[in-house]
Amino acid sequence: MSHSLARIFAILALPLLAACAGTAKQKAPEAVPGYEGVQDAEFFIEPVPAKYLQDGNIRTEVSYSGPEAPGTVVVDTFARKLYLVGEGGTATRYPIAVGREGLAFRGSGVIGRKAEWPSWQPTANMIRTRPDLYAAYAGGLPGGLQNPLGARALYLYRGGRDTMFRIHGTSDAASVGHATSAGCIRLFNQDAIDLYNRVPNGTRVKVRTEAESLAIEGPQMLNAYGHMVPATPENEAKKAKQAEMLAKQEARDKAAAEKAEKKRLAACARRGIPDAECLPTQAVSVGTAG
C-alpha cells in the first residue's frame, strides 16, 4: 500500500474511532456494601441507591439497652427501626417503612412462618376501601419483583393464629424509613434476606408501644428527607441545611425538565408536529401495594 493510500485510510478511520470513543459507557456508581445488586433465585435485586441510605437509614450494628433476650426481633414503628437483639448488649438495627397495618399491632408474637419470594393477596378490607388499587389482585399475586412482599416475608403468629402482621421486603427502596399508606413492616430486600437468614421459625417478636419507644429511643423528629432521627439541636440545624440543599436540587431539576421539554417540542416542530400532538414518552410505573 502506498504512503498516500495509507494516509487516506487513516483519515477516513478517524470519525469511526471518535464514534467508538464517544460511546464508552460511564462507570456506574459504586454500591454501598451490604446493598449491592443480588441474584436471588431467578430474580435480580437492584442495588439500593446511596441516596436512600442516609441519616441512619442503613443496617448497622449498635449498642442495645432494651430488656429483650438475645435472638428477639424488636419492632419500633415510631422510630421506624427494627432490632435483632444480639449478645452482650448489642443488636443489628434495620431501617423500616411503616404502614397502617404495621401500626395496628402491639405486644408480642412469634414468627410462625417464613417464605422466600412469597405470594400476596390483598385483604377483603383493602379491596373494599381501595378497589382502584387492590381489586385487580383479588385472586392473588405470585412472588416476584413486583410483589409488594418483596424477596422475603416473616409472618407473625399469636396463640397459633396468623395475626396478619408481616415483616417483609420491598422493591420500593424509596419508601424505607417513611410512613406509608399501606402494608406492614417493610425492609430493603437486601435487609429482608439478611434478617430471614438469621432468625428461625418460633423467634419472638416484640412490637413497642409509643411509651416504650420514647423511653428507649428518646424523642424523635422528621428530618428534611422524611426519616426519623433523634430530636436534638444538632439534627434541627442539620434539617435546615438539608432543606436548603433539597430546594436547590429541586430548582436544578425543574430547570433541567423545562430545558428537556423545550428540546422535545422543538424536535416535534422540526418534524411538523403541532405541540398539542407532540406526546411525551410514557414511563410505565408499578405501584407498591403492600
Cell (9 digits) for 175: 419508601
Residue of 88, 80, 93, 116 whose CA lies nearest to 223: 80
Residue 227 known to be catalytic:
no
The contacts of residue 278 (CB under 8 Å, 6+ apart) are 264, 265, 268
Strands 97-98 and 185-188: antiparallel
Within 10 angstroms of residue 286's Cβ, the number of other Cβ atoms is 10
Secondary-structure percent of the chain, ordered helix, strand, coil, rounded to 5: 35, 25, 40
Instruction: Please tell me which residue in 3, 20, 178, 184 is annotated as part of the active site.
Output: 184
- Answer for the pair 64, 206: CB distance below 8 angstroms, yes or no: no
Residue 178 known to be catalytic:
no
Instruction: Please tell me which residue in 20, 168, 227, 268 is annotated as part of the active site.
Output: 168
- In which element (H, E) is residue 157 found? strand 152-158
- Answer for the pair 214, 79: CB distance below 8 angstroms, yes or no: no
The contacts of residue 196 (CB under 8 Å, 6+ apart) are 114, 116, 152, 154
Long-range contacts of 126-130 (CB under 8 A, 24+ apart): 126/182, 130/182
Which sequence positions are flagged as catalytic? 168, 184
